[in-house]
Amino acid sequence: MTTQVVPILRVADAAVAVAWYGQIGFEQVFEHRFADGMPAYVGIERDGAAIHLSEHTGDAPGPGLVYIWVDAIDPFADHFGIVPDEMPWARDIEVSDPDGNRIRLAERR
């Protein structure tokens, strides 16, 4: 048996959030609405890691913080125009999505 933990982040507009997370390699894998015009609940994945994005006001009122390990931090740092922080355990950067959720991307030392 495997255990997978999936953070849920509150977003105002799932389509905008999906596009933003595309910058760091996530792709949409599903979208669910209870009916037309209802809030969206969207799943995104990158290399087997999943995040759920919810427009539902009762879900994860946030903002949240997600720590994501990547193989190389420099391409992301360059993309966002950020100099990585040099920590004892990693080189990392922190960015915020359009809804104020904080995303830390880190390369192991």
Give the structural domain span for 50.
8-108
pLDDT of 63: 93
Indicate the number of domains in the chain.
Answer: 1
Residue 1, domain member (yes or no): no
Residue 69, domain member (yes or no): yes
**What CATH code is carried by the domain that includes residue 57?**
3.10.180.10
- By the 8 A CB rule, do 74 and 85 touch? no
Taking only Cα atoms into account, the Rg of the chain, rounded to an integer number of angstroms, comes to 15
The secondary structure of 39-102 as a DSSP string is PPEEEEEETTEEEEEE--TTS--S--EEEEEES-SHHHHHHHT-PPEE-SSEEEEEEE-TTS-E
What CA–CA distances, in Å, run from 42 to 48, 78, 99?
16, 28, 15
**What pTM value is reported for the model?**
0.89
Per residue in 57-106, pLDDT (tens digit) is: 999 888 999 999 999 999 999 999 999 999 999 999 999 999 999 999 99
